[in-house]
Structure 1
Amino acid sequence: MPDAPEPTPPPPLPGPARRLDAHSLRGLAHPLRMRLYELLSLDGPATATLLAQRLGENTGTVSWHLRHLAEHGFIEDDTARGTKRERWWRRAGVINDLRIADFRDDPDAHGALSVFLRELVNQYFNRVMTYVGEDWDERWRNAGTVSDWRDLRLTPDRLRALNMELMEVIARHTPGPDTEPDSEARPVVVQLQSFPRKERDSA
């Protein structure tokens, strides 16, 4: 029999990355820690006090979870802003590479993986709901989209190739560090969700 074709490699990441293991995943997989990490990723550096106010949480609790994220390398001190009295945090400058297949044979990681994926999907949902509930002018409203395509039938390799092509397109539109700022530009979130669907019996 002929050899099976080599699987398409995963899409390249647009910067320095670390592959998450079970230990680091457990350090992130908590609803509040994931929300804190999201805020620091989307809105930039902040103190525990500012984050606690945004989330309606106790500052001491938020501080504890921020230190936990820092211990696992997800965030770091923003030394340019921090003072002896006020500690500022920022997202660490590394991309987290999570590959679900790494945890397939690790029963101790299944709980953390389940929490992480559930909270991640909730974050995606909440971002979209915030967008559709906001008041945007006609140009921005017509520029955004919430779409889905349901008629594709792909093999695993073709689905992986599709994801790579889409990520290459996004990379071309991602400004580099030397890009001149545009006064009309606004932060944009692109959420890519592509996954197989189990078919129901037609009978």
Structure 2
Amino acid sequence: MEEQYKITDAQVLKAVAHPLRVRLLGLLRSDGPATASELGRKVGESSGSTSYHLRELFKYGFIEEDPDRRDGRERRWRARHRYTSWDAVELSGTQEGREAVKVVHLRQAELVGRLMEAFDPGDWSDEWVEAAGMSDHVLLLPPAALRELKNRIDELLGEIATRYAGDPAAGQVAVWYGAMPRDHEEEQDR
């Protein structure tokens, strides 16, 4: 699997921003290859619906048929990349690009909400419950500081993943971070 898929076309970003496609691609990345029927059961959709959206993901290069795991009746699909990236400044040069960037950010926030909703501390050991969680901060930062923060978080995530690779206590963990400037008018209203 390749490391990343860098999107440079607003149409491609818009195609992957569809709510079901985002979920299907995420499942293929996190859980591995699957058929349309298997994915349909996971997301509560018909195999016809998931098949259509999988074909769209294939058309835009996000997924491929899994040659290692063939099912006699159905195609098995796998993700081609570990993650998707895009240049928000470049894509925001057009109205279509701005809309696509906004929609994909909203899809990411929806995913965070689903993951938080699914997390039940009663299902996990105290060690996992203590380590998991979320926090929020409102800081006064210039764009350069926010870029530095983003870069350092990426570096730290890579360093930690490498250090703990193969640890028997390791489990799949969803890590997210986001930082958006607040509207000046909204700040003044508070």
State the TM-score bracket (shorter-chain normalisation): 0.7 to 0.9
Q: How many residues are aligned here?
A: 187
The one of 135, 138, 148 aligned to 2:136: 148
1:106-145 correspondence runs (5 A): 106-132=94-120, 135-145=123-133
Q: Percent identity?
A: 32
Q: For each residue in 1:170-202, what CA deviation from the matched residue of structure 2 results, as whole angstroms up to 9, or x when unmatched? A: 1101238xx863322111111111222234226
Q: Please name the residue that 2:68 is paired with.
A: 80
Q: Please name the residue that 1:188 is paired with.
A: 173
1:1-203 correspondence runs (5 A): 15-93=3-81, 95-132=83-120, 135-150=123-138, 152-175=139-162, 181-199=166-184, 200-201=187-188
Q: For each residue in 1:11-70, what CA deviation from the matched residue of structure 2 results, as whole angstroms up to 9, or x when unmatched? A: xxx945423311311221211111111111221111101001111211111111101101
Q: What TM-score comes out, normalization by structure 1 length? A: 0.81
Work out the CA distance in 1 between the residues paired with 2:176 and 2:64.
25
Work out the CA distance in 2 between the residues paired with 1:87 and 1:175.
33
RMSD over aligned Cα atoms: 2.4
Work out the CA distance in 2 between the residues paired with 1:33 and 1:202.
38
Alpha-carbon spacing, 1:147–1:173, altered in 2? closer, same or farther (3 Å) = same
Work out the CA distance in 2 between the residues paired with 1:133 and 1:71.
40
Work out the CA distance in 2 between the residues paired with 1:196 and 1:108.
21
Whether the 8 Å contact between 2:40 and 2:46 is mirrored in structure 1 is: yes
Paired residue type of 1:127: L
Whether the 8 Å contact between 1:20 and 1:97 is mirrored in structure 2 is: no
Paired residue type of 1:146: M
**Moved beyond 6 Å, runs of 4+:** none
- Secondary structure of the residue that 1:175 maps to in structure 2? helix
Q: What TM-score comes out, normalization by structure 2 length? A: 0.87
Gapped regions of structure 1 (runs ≥ 5): 1-13
Paired residue type of 2:79: R
Choose between structure 1 and 2: higher helix proportion: 2
Paired residue type of 2:67: T
Select between 44-53 and 191-200 the one with higher mean Cα deviation: 191-200
Select between 93-102 and 158-167 the one with higher mean Cα deviation: 93-102
